[in-house]
Structure 1
Amino acid sequence: MKKNHSTNYFDTFIEVAEDTKRDSGTKPPAKDRKTVAEMQYDYIAAHPYQYTSDDVLFRVFADRKDLTKAEEKEARKEFFSKGQPCFRASPLTKMYGFGIHCNSEGKIALYGMETEAYQKFMTDPKVKKVQAMKSGK
């Protein structure tokens, strides 16, 4: 059996990257072909605390590969048999000014860095904080 490399965090807040150019959460711009950032944003913004990080990352992968429902189960196993970048490496946390809160079930929601909720997570001692990865070196 292959190892499952999960990207899920629990009771954790992923802060925006130190070197972000934004001062508020900004929806990724629409392009002809949806970008990873746009797809991640659409899933999470429309369904706060409904999906885990793994769910969203795999859903974006499956949509970009045009996988059928029948192909998804095996593809998901294969996808997570290798380590995948987590939301600390997402354009949402690195470039678009969003923090991501992971609740006790690992379900995620977006919070713009300008919001009161974002500040509450940052000051709550019960919530573990991890910073998004920097964009530059």
Structure 2
Amino acid sequence: MRIDHNHYNMFVEVAEDCPATSAQIPKAKAGAKTVPLMQYEMLAGHPYSYTQEDVLFEVYATRNSIPDELRAEERERFFSKGQPCLRTSSLCKRYGWGIHHNAEGKIALYAIDSTEYQTLKNDSSLKHVRAMRSSRA
């Protein structure tokens, strides 16, 4: 039986040491999409369409050119070992985005400088966690 790597009714606030005071869109480097850019593109245009597992695996599969016909098997293999959650994503650590996980485990991005971010940050019905710090203090 595989472990569920999704979260429910949770808000990931930006990291304590996040340098962004307003949300930024990640940029490609050397003409290639970075992991945070790929995550951003999946989530920004499709709020509450994907789970954390969907995002983590799709980015992995795309970066590793896994063909569609092998994705189901590769997804099982991918999640058979521990995977870092989106609390480690640069979206939350560097670029100023919070991530809300709804009751179904679907996720959406919220800019640190938005009213919606503040509303979610103050919502006592949600579990609140901070993104992982970029550096040790």
Q: Which interval holds the TM-score relative to the shorter structure?
A: over 0.9
Which residue number in structure 2 is paired with residue 20 of structure 1?
18
Paired positions, count: 135
Aligned sequence identity (%): 48
Q: Deviations over 1:1-26 (max 9, x none)?
A: xx524331100000000000000111
Question: Which 4+ stretches in 1 moved above 4 angstroms?
Answer: none
Instruction: Compute the RMSD of aligned alpha carbons.
Output: 0.9
Q: Deviations over 1:32-67 (max 9, x none)?
A: 111000000000001110000000110000000111
Distance 1:134 1:124 in 2: 22
Q: Is the 8 A contact 1:39 1:60 kept in 2?
A: yes
* 5+ residue gaps, structure 2: none
After TM superposition, the score normalised by the length of structure 1 is: 0.95
After TM superposition, the score normalised by the length of structure 2 is: 0.95
* 5+ residue gaps, structure 1: none
Q: Does 1:121 align with 2:120?
A: yes
User: Within 5 Å, which residues of 2 pair with 1:12-91?
Assistant: 12-31=10-29, 32-91=31-90
Q: C-alpha displacement at 1:30, in angstroms? A: 2.3
